Copies of this chain bind each other. A is one copy, B any other.
């Protein structure tokens, strides 16, 4: 199965599912991902190094890992859970796990600056996380 496509489709699905008021109906998938996750070096210069993170941004970061979980479920049929903890200062940690196996984990500093330089980097990252999650699962599942 094509992990890259599956990941991106799942992420888009998650984002659109949260679009209660249809605000993003006329936006293309690419534009939506870029708006949420892609920031150029220029953009980053305008974001302070130390700042509070808002609920919306925490949710957007969560979706990245929730999409890993959901895509993993689609591939393996195995349920998994996402737990994320984030302080108001943007320090935090997320873990995706199933049973006794950690499939994916990431810690954050400066989460309010969380972003990718270009869209392909986001797709690369999603593909990498998903493939790694599947590999870890294969390795540990029979114990």
Contacts and interface: CB of A to CB of B under 8 A. Distances in A.
Interface in A114-143: 136, 139-140, 143
Nearest to A81: B93
Interface string A89-101: 0000111010111
Chain copies in the assembled complex: 2
A53 interface: no
A105 interface: yes
Interface in A46-72: none
A70 to B, nearest CB: 17
A84 interface: yes
A94 B95 CA distance: 10
A101 B101 CA distance: 5
A75 to B, nearest CB: 18
Given A83-B84, A84-B85, A101-B101, 20 more contacts: A81-B95, A83-B83, A83-B85, A83-B93, A83-B94, A83-B95, A85-B85, A95-B95, A97-B97, A97-B102, A97-B105, A99-B102, A100-B101, A100-B102, A100-B136, A100-B140, A101-B102, A139-B143, A140-B140, A143-B143
